[in-house]
Structure 1
Amino acid sequence: MKQQSLGLGQSTKRTRRREFLSDMERVVPWTDLVALVLPYMPEGRRGRPPFPVEAMLRIHFMQQWFNLSDPAMEDALHDVPLFRDFAGLGGWDDRLPD
């Protein structure tokens, strides 16, 4: 078992980034946006199973808010627990979007 999977060393300091994402959690109508996008999402019958629509929307928004490219966002999801939490993705050992 890795130390990261135990949740050790995760900061709870109220940083500007943490405050911003907390505000966006409250003001962005996530359920309404998911309802708009859901009819256009592929069903994922072949290949890897798709990630939840809300997680992908949250990742897309973070890319725009923090000016991250696709590779930079992938790295951030691996490196920044706050981003994984905001996207609703699991811990260190879970599969992440690439």
Structure 2
Amino acid sequence: MEIGSPMASLYLLGNPDHYTSHTFKIFWWKSYVSKVKEYWEDSEMDDDNMMDDVILSRYKEDYIGTSTVDDYVLRPHELEHISLYQWIKCCSKVKFSQTQ
């Protein structure tokens, strides 16, 4: 596969290959749909719908599993009025340092 000289120079200089005036967040909607289907469907769920990405974190001696769906579903009472769209648009995870 050949690459053009403009593309090669962008790559070597570390410049992006496209520019945009907006930044976008990645939203994996399928995991949210699967969570909602759990409450509406009485039938047996197949293995594809049961898959959910979970991040394992270690806190002292314990391991904690977290997911973006759980972050929204288990959000604090003060944030219950926020829609899923607003949650994804405005909220972000912040990891505390060891001193915090």
Normalised to the residue count of structure 1, the TM-score between the two structures is 0.26
Higher relative contact order (CA 8 A, sep 6+): 1
Higher fraction of strand: 2
Normalised to the residue count of structure 2, the TM-score between the two structures is 0.26
Higher fraction of helix: 1
Structure whose CA Rg is larger? 2
